[in-house]
Structure 1
Amino acid sequence: MPLPRSLRPRAPRMRRSLLPPGCDQRRGCVGVHPPTRPGRGAMSGDMVDGPVVDGTPGDGPRGAEGTLEVERLSVRFQVDNSWIGRIRGRSGEITAVDDVSFTLQRGASLGIVGESGCGKSTMARAVVGLVKPDSGDIRYGGVRLGAKRSRRQRRLIQMVFQDPGSSLNPSMTPRRVLSELLRVHDMVPAGDIGDRCEELLDLVELPRRLIDARPRHLSGGQRQRIGIARALALEPEVLIADESVAALDVSVQASVLNLLADLRRRLGLMLLFVSHDLAVIRHVSDEVIVMYLGGIVEHSPAAQLFDVPRHPYTKALLASAPRLKQPTAAEPPIVGEPLSVLSVPAGCRFEPRCPVAFDRCRTQRPGLIDTGGGSAACWLIEEPRKGRKMSKPWDT
């Protein structure tokens, strides 16, 4: 009769050091579970305090190994196909994410921004495996991540959700939340689970005395830090933050954003940050993708996109953001309401609301066109003079 799993001898588990890949002390930490010291959570065998990190994005450790590739990803949903739905014009199929492609390198941060309903959260959920894509490929390190992923593949990509209050079980303390994850996924030996839970609280800068507190006794920022610790418990390579600071007070948002940026650099994480807040995206992102009606309209380095936007929608989106000193020649706001995903135009997605659209925009959908460092889906990049011939008040 075979022994129960709980009684079987376990081989020692190789632990990944939480030091950056380029650290000269990394060699002695591989395969060793870092000990903790009284009152402090050591993340390596030799270093107790983490390295000092500045606030400039894009200087994290990078490597050729471990690249997240999303190629021509599409997600569709069936809507009401009943006879009532057909009468109301709500039957059929909607495309929430349409032919989205991007690449994310180790240590890099990619921001996804757009209006509500543009498909940015659906795309993020498809990458993490919560939504099944209808077409396209998701690869990590050259290995395809299908709809049915192995335990190791599921651990590779983790998500921090928007509302920390609803994403945490109100009856479970941080100790129970973290220890259950560590036990189910066999991350550490049973005797080390308690120490590892305390280390995770240290990692997200929470005092250890809160480890047995109920979620109702924690603030919104503290609950979100527990959500981040829960995602880091499985030692992911990719961290997806879906509007992770939208539900927090403005005074708390900066500290959580700085924590995410610090963790990205210290652990070499890839960060996919989804938000509708342009200021937040600019703070945490190396590159930015702007989405509209399920598709990408512009993809550029953050500095280039915010300084020299090329797509009319990106220009209007940036012009609508409040700022202390408004430019003298401000762009006009976006006119009209966002279109429904049930009635996406045959040509350019933004054409019905674009003040510089011309005939080609109405009949042909542009792909991403190189803009010198970035790309944008706009015919005016190839034919800039045609937009200026229109009687609309916006000059590109």
Structure 2
Amino acid sequence: MPLPRSLRPRAPRMRRSLLPPGCDQRRGCVGVHPPTRPGRGAMSGDMVDGPVVDGTPGDGPRGAEGTLEVERLSVRFQVDNSWIGRIRGRSGEITAVDDVSFTLQRGASLGIVGESGCGKSTMARAVVGLVKPDSGDIRYGGVRLGAKRSRRQRRLIQMVFQDPGSSLNPSMTPRRVLSELLRVHDMVPAGDIGDRCEELLDLVELPRRLIDARPRHLSGGQRQRIGIARALALEPEVLIADESVAALDVSVQASVLNLLADLRRRLGLMLLFVSHDLAVIRHVSDEVIVMYLGGIVEHSPAAQLFDVPRHPYTKALLASAPRLKQPTAAEPPIVGEPLSVLSVPAGCRFEPR
């Protein structure tokens, strides 16, 4: 009779260094490691939870082959298909994300911008695995990330959510939040979990005395830093920030954005930043994707998009942003109401406006 899953022996997992690539202190961090539990041998090489696939990215923190590829991604949702919904004309299918493709290189930052309801958050949730796509491929390092991902694949991409208050358990301290992640995913030996939690607080520039504070005793910026530390606890390759500074004060926004930029540089993270704020996108992004009604209307380097926008919708978005000195020739305002996602026009989505 086979053992229950909870009683099966678990393979140890090697701890990876969060020091930047090329750092002299990284030597010896990866390779042969001491046993994580008494009675177990030393570890070497790549130990994963699921089956090994040819082309799986190396276990080094930032492998040279690390590239996130999204190809023709589409996400659809069914609306009310009851007979009452059909009578009221509310039945059908919503295409929240339609044929979206992009590539994110190691250490790069990609901004996703667009008005509310354009599908940017749904696309980000599909990439992280919270929403099942209806079509398209998501690959990391040449390996396809399907709907059912191994534990190691789930660790590759982590997310920082918009509201730091609702994304944290009000009864759990930062120590409990981080230690639970480290224990469940077997990131470090049990005896090192406490030290690792304090290291994560240092990484997001929080004082260690807050490690046992309740979320209600923390400010919005401090709670968001705990959310960032929670995402970094699993040592991801890709960090997705979904409107992660929208609920913060402007002064706090700047400090959190600078922290994300510093972490991206130090850890070699790929950063996928979702926002409706053009100024924020310009500050953190190397490239920018502009979405409208679930599709991409423009994709270009950040400097080019803000200096020489090509699509009329992009021009209208930039013209609507407040600025100290208004240009002499202002872009005409967008007329008409945003179209319903139930009736997306053929061809250019922006043409009716």
Return the TM-score normalized by structure 1: 0.78
Asked if structure 1 preserves the Cα contact closer than 8 Å seen for 2:71 and 2:136, the reply is yes
For 2:233 and 2:319, locate their aligned partners in 1 and report how far apart those are by CA, in whole Å. Answer: 40
Structure 1 residue 199, shift from structure 2 partner: 0.4
Structure 1 spans left out of the alignment, 5+ residues = 351-396
Structure 1 residue 34, shift from structure 2 partner: 13
User: Given the superposition, is the C-alpha separation of residues 193 and 7 from structure 1 closer, same or farther in structure 2, using an over 3 Å criterion?
Assistant: farther
For 2:43 and 2:257, locate their aligned partners in 1 and report how far apart those are by CA, in whole Å. Answer: 21
User: Given the superposition, is the C-alpha separation of residues 226 and 131 from structure 1 closer, same or farther in structure 2, using an over 3 Å criterion?
Assistant: same
1:63-119 C-alpha deviation (Å, 9 max, x unpaired): 641100000000000000112211221101010000000000110000000000000
Asked if structure 2 preserves the Cα contact closer than 8 Å seen for 1:36 and 1:195, the reply is no
| Partner secondary structure for residue 36 of structure 1 | coil
Alignment RMSD (CA, Å): 7.2
User: Given the superposition, is the C-alpha separation of residues 36 and 254 from structure 1 closer, same or farther in structure 2, using an over 3 Å criterion?
Assistant: farther
Structure 1 residue 330, shift from structure 2 partner: 1.0
Structure 1 residue 231, shift from structure 2 partner: 0.4
Structure 1 residue 44, shift from structure 2 partner: 19
Structure 1 residue 296, shift from structure 2 partner: 0.2
For 1:41 and 1:316, locate their aligned partners in 2 and report how far apart those are by CA, in whole Å. Answer: 62
For 1:62 and 1:151, locate their aligned partners in 2 and report how far apart those are by CA, in whole Å. Answer: 18
Segments of 4+ in structure 1 off by > 6 A? 1-12, 32-63
Q: Which has the higher contact order (CA 8 A, sep 6+)?
A: 2
Asked if structure 1 preserves the Cα contact closer than 8 Å seen for 2:50 and 2:150, the reply is no
For 1:131 and 1:231, locate their aligned partners in 2 and report how far apart those are by CA, in whole Å. Answer: 18
| Partner secondary structure for residue 341 of structure 1 | coil
User: Given the superposition, is the C-alpha separation of residues 235 and 61 from structure 1 closer, same or farther in structure 2, using an over 3 Å criterion?
Assistant: closer
Structure 1 residue 311, shift from structure 2 partner: 0.4
Structure 1 residue 8, shift from structure 2 partner: 9.7
| Partner secondary structure for residue 266 of structure 2 | helix
Structure 1 residue 26, shift from structure 2 partner: 2.5
State the percentage of identical aligned residues.
100
Structure 1 residue 302, shift from structure 2 partner: 0.3
Asked if structure 2 preserves the Cα contact closer than 8 Å seen for 1:42 and 1:199, the reply is no
Matched, 1:246 2:258: no
Asked if structure 1 preserves the Cα contact closer than 8 Å seen for 2:93 and 2:342, the reply is yes
1:163-211 C-alpha deviation (Å, 9 max, x unpaired): 0000000000000000010111111111111000000000000000000
Asked if structure 2 preserves the Cα contact closer than 8 Å seen for 1:41 and 1:202, the reply is no
Asked if structure 2 preserves the Cα contact closer than 8 Å seen for 1:113 and 1:277, the reply is yes
User: Given the superposition, is the C-alpha separation of residues 63 and 286 from structure 1 closer, same or farther in structure 2, using an over 3 Å criterion?
Assistant: farther
For 2:323 and 2:60, locate their aligned partners in 1 and report how far apart those are by CA, in whole Å. Answer: 29
| Partner secondary structure for residue 164 of structure 1 | coil
For 1:109 and 1:218, locate their aligned partners in 2 and report how far apart those are by CA, in whole Å. Answer: 29
Asked if structure 2 preserves the Cα contact closer than 8 Å seen for 1:62 and 1:268, the reply is yes
| Partner secondary structure for residue 32 of structure 2 | coil
User: Given the superposition, is the C-alpha separation of residues 42 and 109 from structure 1 closer, same or farther in structure 2, using an over 3 Å criterion?
Assistant: farther
Q: How many residues align?
A: 350
Q: Which has the higher Rg, Structure 1 or Structure 2?
A: 1
Asked if structure 2 preserves the Cα contact closer than 8 Å seen for 1:53 and 1:262, the reply is no
1:308-347 C-alpha deviation (Å, 9 max, x unpaired): 0000000000000001111111101111111110011122
Deviates more, 1:79-88 or 1:54-63: 54-63
Asked if structure 2 preserves the Cα contact closer than 8 Å seen for 1:15 and 1:32, the reply is no
For 2:45 and 2:86, locate their aligned partners in 1 and report how far apart those are by CA, in whole Å. Answer: 64
1:254-278 C-alpha deviation (Å, 9 max, x unpaired): 0000000000111110000000000
